[in-house]
Amino acid sequence: MTKLRLAIVGAGPAGIYAADILLKAERKFDVSIDLFDHLPAPYGLVRYGVAPDHPRIKGIINALRDVLDRGDIRIFGNVRFGTDITLADLKKHYNAVIFATGAIKDAELDIPGIDAEGSFGAADFVSWYDGHPDFPREWPLDAASVAVLGNGNVALDVARVLAKHADDLLSTEIPANVYDGLKASPITDVHVFGRRGPAQVKFTPLELRELGELRDVDMVVYDEDFDYDEASKAAIASNKQVMVIDRVLQSWRQRPSVNNAGGEASRRLHLHFYARPVEVKTDAEGRTAAIVYERTRPDGSGGVEGTGELREIEVGQVYRAIGYFGSPLPDVPFDKRHGVIPNHEGQVLHKDSNERVPGVYATGWIKRGPVGLIGHTKSDAMETVRHLINDQGSWWTPEDPSEDAIVSLLAERQVAWTDLDGWHRLDEHEIALGAPTERARIKVVDRDEMVRVSRGE
Ligand code: NAP
């Protein structure tokens, strides 16, 4: 029977779903899959993107772990595509590759001052609080008042983690340095800015409602943002999600903290709508000092137009949460404008000619862009895998498809790769670190230590 030797690059949900779907699919050939990741641990954005106080979403890891624990997928962690293994290596040892490398960078926001000291990408902050090994251990939480730009779920995650008292995060898996950093934070006010109105937000009702439940944090909304136009009214009437969001916001309008008056909590989380960020102002030393925004108004069709009225709020830090962005991979086509690998339903295309690149596939956020919930990645993987199966005639013909070949190659290059047993060791080690304080786990953050524990060294 023909055998498909498949490499998947990226061991997040996109890569693991693709492997699982292929292994379960009806097909006329055997399959053997090697899953590579540049990190020593699997699960990608579930481990390093989902907020630590969202255990329900983190729970997706259990389903992903069940797939890996079946033992029919080999894992090679701590292996960097482009240096430790290249596309030429994959062509030598596999019939095809699926790239599932996701998107971890922040989209750019082209406004004056955005590169000032104290202005950050939200994705970087998320990587810090989720203990990503490639990010600095220290985060300068030194501002009393901060701005979060954007109205998606990442903006709410960042605003919530910033506003929450560190002790309310202690039961989660946050690393010790993150707890210490948040505990020392002098924050009192978090201002979230959406350039459109409450009926056009991208965040979801559950995540919004959660903000109202934070201990010792007042939600502040402003009456001027609720003078809805016809398009907003129609959206609220016709879309259940928008309706619930409106209901939650309206309930906060009944609280004493509306329009910034009368709340008693030591911290406040302000939601500003119809507020388009236009400049980050700096002090004489070049540090973030204020956010300037233009008041917008509905344009009648769900969009907004500027009113020309500029407003300013003093803030010591700015976090832009306006979307993630994919990163290019060596020797793989890349669409710089959209931050994705150009593809047709997961079949990778040459950038200029739009012709297919045989043997090369993409799935997840690097395929369709950084939108949608983790579950959406499954249907994405199905589409990619369907093409991979049907394309049998155009797979690569590898020189040495033996399973040992890649192991020898990595050993020859002195790559300290981690495998499934290694992940189990790290997993158990993290759980044991949490046990004395009755926490589910404490994450190991240092890459070398992750590798050492995984490899039992
Ligand atoms: P997102 O949902 O696409 O939201 C991006 C936000 O940034 C939008 O409000 C957008 O406004 C705004 N924006 C974009 N460009 C802007 C600009 N130039 N100026 C001002 N605002 C700008 O992206 P995300 O928050 O990064 O989330 C990515 C995906 O992950 C989403 O599907 C999200 O639901 C998911 N996620 C889910 C959870 C969860 O379930 N708890 C947590 C985190 C992330 P416009 O709408 O006006 O463009």
Best CATH choice for the domain 105-320 from the list 3.50.50.60, 3.40.50.300, 3.30.1330.200, 3.40.50.2300: 3.50.50.60
- pLDDT per residue as tens digits for the range 39-86: 999 999 999 999 999 988 988 999 999 999 999 999 999 999 999 999
- Pocket probe mutation, ligand 1, options 109, 111, 153, max atoms within 8 Å of Cβ: 153
CA distances 292 to 137, 277, 307, Å, are: 30, 6, 14
The band of 196, judged by pLDDT with boundaries at 50, 70 and 90, is: very high
Compute the distance between CA of residue 315 and CA of residue 62 in angstroms, rounded to an integer: 40
The band of 348, judged by pLDDT with boundaries at 50, 70 and 90, is: very high
**% of residues, the chain, pLDDT over 70:** 100
Residue 323 Cβ < 6 Å to ligand 1: yes
- For the chain, how many helices (H) and strands (E)? 16, 18
pLDDT for res 146: 98
pLDDT for res 58: 87
Q: How many CB atoms lie within 10 A of CB 283?
A: 13
How many degrees, rounded to 5, is the angle at CA 212 between CA 209 and CA 217? 150
Q: Which CATH architecture has domain 2-104+326-417?
A: 3-Layer(aba) Sandwich (3.40)
Say if CB 157 and CB 126 are below 8 A apart. Answer: yes
- Ligand 1 atom with the smallest distance to the CA of 123 is 26
Within 8 A by CB and 6+ apart from 393, the residues are none
Residue nearest to atom 38 of ligand 1 (CA): 153
Residue 192 Cβ < 6 Å to ligand 1: no
Q: What is the CA(327)–ligand 1 centre distance, in A?
A: 18
Residue 196 Cβ < 6 Å to ligand 1: yes
Residue 324 Cβ < 6 Å to ligand 1: yes
- Is 90 exceeded by the pLDDT of residue 2? no
Q: What is the pTM of this model?
A: 0.96
- Is 90 exceeded by the pLDDT of residue 250? yes
Residue 207 Cβ < 6 Å to ligand 1: yes
Q: What is the CA(56)–ligand 1 centre distance, in A?
A: 20
Half-sphere exposure for 177 (CA within 13 Å, toward CB)? 17
pLDDT for res 352: 86
- pLDDT per residue as tens digits for the range 413-453: 999 999 999 999 999 999 999 999 888 889 999 999 999 99
The band of 372, judged by pLDDT with boundaries at 50, 70 and 90, is: confident
Residue 33 Cβ < 6 Å to ligand 1: no
Within 8 A by CB and 6+ apart from 171, the residues are 439
- Domain locations in the chain? 2-104+326-417, 105-320
- Is 80 exceeded by the pLDDT of residue 397? yes
Q: What is the CA(190)–ligand 1 centre distance, in A?
A: 17
Q: What is the CA(156)–ligand 1 centre distance, in A?
A: 9
- pLDDT per residue as tens digits for the range 257-304: 888 888 899 999 999 999 999 999 999 999 999 999 999 999 988 789
**Closest to 13 in 3D by CA, of 50, 55, 52, 54:** 50
Tokens describing residue 191: 């201002």
Q: How many CB atoms lie within 10 A of CB 116?
A: 19
